[in-house]
Amino acid sequence: MAGTCAHAEFFRAQPAWALALAGVGLLGLAAGVEGLREAIRGLEVGVLVNNAGVSYPYARYFHEVDEELMRTLIRVNVEGVTRVTHAVLPGMVERKRGAIVNIGSGSSSVMPSDPLYSVYAATKAYVDQFSRCLYVEYKSKGIDVQCQVPLYVATKMASIRKSSFFVPSADTYARAAIRHIGYEPKCTPYWPHSVMWFLISILPESLIDSIRLGMCIKIRKKGQAKDAKKKEQ
């Protein structure tokens, strides 16, 4: 109980909009969600953003994915978004208003496949469908649920350091994301990503699959080379 109280004190020191972002990222999942429930009791959390996510260190075939990585992907990308939403949603239902934004991925919503990232793409497909179902369930209760689908963003998780026109910085993407909250149930807020989505949609899936597989095999080779160098040091 002492741990839960400490977690509650931590959350109450944060602005209401930051609660969900801190809940899983800084504490263990179970303790974090329980602390979140305690902290938001009596508070009006108007917007929940489920942005926490993990991916592979680099591309790899499914049989090369170890148990620890697989558990982490499912725990953070699936269980995390589910449990945090479950903790925050009752208050929104009671107040008959609120917005939930879940961050999906182009790997499952735009690309026909994401070979060598199969578990990651599958967890993001869950986020997509989970969001759509909640949108239908709670729209009449005054709650907007939206899945935002980015393509590449210059972040540590994507292993991209420099931003560009088609690969925005995290700040640039965030500004676009905020402007789209409360509109359609699934969107790509950064408009150059929407252009890429359209272009991908008109090409044969077999062609996109082949191109993406080639890209991911190259990423895998680079990752393996880095691992080999680390072992030599």
Segment 226-232 long-range contacts (CB within 8 Å, at least 24 positions apart): 226/58
Helix axes 67-74, 118-138, angle to 10 degrees: 20
Q: Say how many CA atoms lie within 13 Å of 204 toward its Cβ.
A: 4
Q: State both tokens at 226.
A: 């880095």
* Residue of 117, 120, 173, 190 with catalytic role: 120
Q: Where are the alpha helices (DSSP H) in 96-204?
A: 106-109, 118-138, 170-179, 191-201
pTM over 0.85: no
Q: What is the fold of 46-227?
A: Rossmann fold (3.40.50)
Helix axes 81-95, 29-40, angle to 10 degrees: 10
Q: What is the pLDDT of residues 94-122, one digit of tens each?
A: 999 999 999 999 999 999 999 999 999 99
Q: What is the pLDDT of residues 129-183, one digit of tens each?
A: 999 999 999 999 999 999 999 998 988 777 777 888 889 998 999 999 989 888 8
Residues 11/23, Cβ–Cβ less than 8 Å:
yes
* pLDDT reported for residue 164: 86
120 is catalytic: yes
